[in-house]
Amino acid sequence: MEGNSLIWLTLGLPILGFLFQGICGRFLDKTASGKKLMGLLAVAPIAIAFVIGALITKSLDPAKAVVVSSIPWIELKGLSIPFELRIDTLSMTMVLIITGIGALIHLYATGYMAEEKDYSRFFAYLNLFIAAMLILVLGNNLMMLFIGWEGVGLCSYLLIGFWYEDVANAKAANKAFIVNRVGDWGLTLGLLLIATLVATSAEIQGETRLFSYDVVFQHLPKILAANPGVATAAALLLFVGACGKSAQFPLYLWLPDAMAGPTPVSALIHAATMVTSGVVLMNRMSMVFEASAVASAVVCAVGAFTALFAAIIAFGQTDIKKVLAYSTVSQLGFMFVACGAGAYWVGMFHVTTHAFFKALLFLGSGAVIHAMAHEQDMRNYGKLAKYLPVTFGTMMIGYLAIAGVPGLSGFYSKEEVIGSALAGNHAIAGALEVGKWSGWICLVVAALTAMYMTRMMWLTFFGNEEQWRKIEPHHAAEGEDDHGHHHLDATHKPHEVPFSMAIPLVALAALSLLGGWFLASGGRFEHWLMASHVGPLTEVPTHPEGIPLMALSVGAAVLGICAGIAVYMKGLPAKEGWDESKWSAFRLRARDQFGYDSLVVNSVTSDSAAFSASANTGFDHGVIEGLGEGAGSATSWLGGIFNSVQTGLVRMYASIMLIGVVVLVLYVVISSGGGK
């Protein structure tokens, strides 16, 4: 297969770009023309990689997975892990998203970062990210998946902390890195468990490529079917990994902070590509999740909860990027629900459409921020539609797509997520039909999504006043702005984006408008993606009988939009304004993520120091005492967390009791219905 070897080029070009930017960049990006050249040399490799990827995809036989081998990498007695690539529908879908949207965002970034002094460092990281992400999706063995997984984590860290002189950004980068370690712990154990299962299986005689997908996939279904308990363990471990990278509860808390990075980074890494790798992992390893209905139920439950939780938090945000960040967390929850429900392709479908419209929304928000002198608080916006016609028009399409208006891309995928969950064929724990419940929750979240996105659009583009006119004139004494930009003040005049930033907006708007319809019509995407699927698969209808799915999802979207317009038509309501004492208590709590973030961060950071100190003295005074102290302080840390609900308020206690009663009653009724 001569043509398929070209895939090495797709992978190699971003690496070349990275090397060139990293080595030569700092000599060339001192002048404006040098920057133009570097920008071109950053976009070109990704664009070419996309073209090559598209050519390979065109000639691909969907039913066949091709392994392009291979450079020897790790060779041991009885174990060989080559550097090999796998071309199939799943990997090529991701390749097209990564390089296609990646190229558009690179192009956008050449305009967005034009004033930046570390121009080439930015593009070096960005190209490296593309390369790592491609290794993640293209690799044909578990080790390459791991390398890619860690590589994108590194790039994400570097890019969140791109403006590292700002302590908040450096902290956000650290947070992302550390929280992801928790997830990586699960992923590592899961991968090793799977490899161990394969290696110890009797039928593996003579095979040494124990980590390679083609070998693993051949033997794994039988092994897992024989050991359902192990299947659940493996699935849950992989899921922990997916939770970390894809920002699901309880590990979501790094993603909102990650918005401290430059906006193109948010669009590319923290919306369109990297954060979806959890979904890709679950697609790749679908046979593990197929083997365990319980683990799938956990996936569904976590996904649905995250979707709801993040959607509620989004209402309390005033930073335009934070709203989009929580909406990303929430949409990722949708994808997890689909995967948990056994409709893996629906998860990928939502990954695809979400990549279109969420990248668009992020780039649009970047354009707004760019136009408003790097002000991100929506309370300073208002009536921007007349200043930024291109941004407004394209963002409107992205907004309608995410809200689920029929005909736009988000509608198709979201409807199928809800439908496949409501079908309830897979995610069942005992007698509890977690899948169906998740489906209904997703329907509610769909309405909430439409509403908070309406809030964002209306506060930004409509309303009665141009809120920034009220800002007092800027005093020079306040000191230099961090990134050398001028401040927003009453005299500010917003300016529309340059041409290089407008092209990606328009292209993504077109994709958001038509992509969903194109991929959904005639089940095109499903047939294409599932053609090369390996392993058992539950039949999951996306439009279960007896449920007016179309009416429900359109209803949810319309309801959300109308409610949003009704509340925000006149622009910023007083009870959401600058005076936060007028905010409702619930919105204030939502703004603070209901205390979850600070709880985790404070308890971990303040007591881990005590923990390590006690471990230190422990080694001086003897290991036993150290162990005792360590375990003691670890538990008292845990106690601190529980203690936070011990508020002393009777109403709090009564509500917790009530929750306990409801859970108990549900549990009892359901488990006694089981017929014991």
Partner 1 sequence: MIPTIDWGVIGPVAIVAVTGMIALIVHMITGNSEKNFTQKVTVFGLLIALTSLLAAGGSERFVLQEMVVMDRLGSVGQLLTVFSALIVALVSPAYLEAKRIKLGEFYPMLAWATVGGMIVCCTRNLLVLFVGIEILSISLYVLAGLHRTSKKSEESAIKYFLLGAFATGFLLYGIAMFYGATGSLNMSTLVSYWLHGAPENKILLSLSFALIAVGIGFKCSLAPFHQWTPDVYEGAPTNVVAFMATGGKVGAFVALWNFADSFGHAGRFVGMTIATLAVLSMLVGNVLAMAQKNIKRLLAYSSIANAGYVAVAAASVAIAFRLNHIALIFFLFGYVLTSLGVFVVVLAMAKDGEEPMSLDDLKGLASRSPILAYSLVVFVLSLIGLGPVSGFLGKLFILKDALTANLAWLAVVMVLNSIFGAFYYFGMLRSAFAPAEGDARPISLSIPQTFSLSVCVVGVIGAVVFYAPLLAHLGLR
For binding to partner 1 (CB under 8 A), which residues are involved?
628, 631-632, 635-636, 638-640, 642-643, 645-646, 648, 650, 652-654, 656-657, 659-661, 664-665, 667-669, 671-674, 676
Nearer to partner 1 among residue 37 and residue 659 (C-beta) = 659
CB nearer to partner 1: pick between 226 and 631: 631
Q: What does 593-646 look like in DSSP terms, one character per residue?
A: GGGHHHHHHHHHHHHHHHHHHHHHHHHHH-HHHHHHHHHHHHHHHHHHHHHTT-
Tokens of 310: 């993040």
Compare residues 496 and 607 and give the one whose CB is closer to partner 1: 607
Q: How far is the CB of 590 from partner 1 (least distance, A)?
A: 24
Cβ distance to partner 1 smaller for residue 588 or 652: 652
Nearer Cβ to partner 1, position 226 or 627?
627
Question: Whole-number minimum distance, CB 634 to partner 1, in Å?
Answer: 10
CB–CB of 310/452 below 8 Å? no
Nearer to partner 1 by Cβ, of 59 and 672: the residue is: 672
The torsion region of residue 522 among left (phi > 0), alpha (psi -120 to 50) and beta comes to: left
How far apart are CB 230 and partner 1 at their closest, in Å? 18
Measured between alpha carbons, how far is residue 484 from residues 81, 112, 481 in Å? 49, 14, 5
Bridge partner list, 67? 86
Residue 429, classed as helix, strand or coil, is strand
Do residues 271 and 256 make contact, with C-beta atoms less than 8 angstroms apart? no
* Long-range contacts of 542-548, Cβ-Cβ distance < 8 Å, separation of 24 or more: 542/343, 542/346, 542/415, 542/416, 542/419, 542/420, 542/423, 543/416, 543/419, 544/419, 544/422, 544/423, 544/424, 547/419, 547/422
Nearer to partner 1, 27 or 642 (CB): 642
Calpha distance 653→259 (Å, rounded): 36
Q: What share of the chain is helix, strand, coil (3-state, %, to 5)?
A: 75, 5, 20
Query: What is the nearest approach in angstroms of partner 1 to the Cβ of residue 617?
Result: 16
Q: CA dist 404 to 47, 238, 397, 514, 553, Å? A: 30, 30, 11, 13, 8
Q: How far is the CB of 670 from partner 1 (least distance, A)?
A: 9
Beta carbon nearer to partner 1, 588 or 641: 641
Please state the three-class secondary structure of 112-170 as a single string: HCCCCCCHHHHHHHHHHHHHHHHHHHHECEHHHHHHHHHHHHHHHHHHHCCCCCCHHHH
Residue 656 CB, nearest approach to partner 1 (Å)? 6
- Tell the smallest beta-carbon distance from residue 672 to partner 1 (Å): 4
Distance CA 71, CA 83 (A): 5
Report, in Å, the least distance between residue 603 CB and partner 1. Answer: 11
Neighbour-count burial for 294-316, b at 16+ CB within 10 Å, e otherwise: bbbbbbbbbbbbbbbbbbbbbbb
Total residues belonging to the chain: 676
Task: Count, in order, helices (H) and strands (E) of the chain.
Answer: 25, 2
Give backbone dihedrals phi and psi of 163, rounded to 5 degrees, phi first.
-90, 70
Give the residue with the Cβ less far from partner 1, 254 or 611. Answer: 611
Query: How far is the C-alpha of 255 from the C-alpha of 15, rounded, in Å?
Result: 26
Of residues 23 and 664, the one with the C-beta less far from partner 1 = 664
Instruction: Report, in Å, the least distance between residue 638 CB and partner 1.
Output: 5
Cα–Cα nearest to 137, from 329, 273, 305:
273
Q: Least distance from C-beta 288 to partner 1, angstroms?
A: 25
C-alpha–C-alpha distance, residues 452 and 458, integer Å: 10
- CB nearer to partner 1: pick between 609 and 631: 631
* C-beta closer to partner 1: residue 608 or 636: 636
Least separation in angstroms between residue 654's CB and partner 1 is 6
List, in sequence order, the alpha helices (H) in 372-408: 389-403
User: What are the two backbone dihedrals, phi and then psi, of residue 72, each rounded to the nearest 5 degrees?
Assistant: -60, 140
Smallest gap, in angstroms, from Cβ of residue 630 to partner 1? 11
Q: What's the closest the beta carbon of residue 181 comes to partner 1, in angstroms?
A: 24
Name which of 595 and 632 has its Cβ closer to partner 1: 632
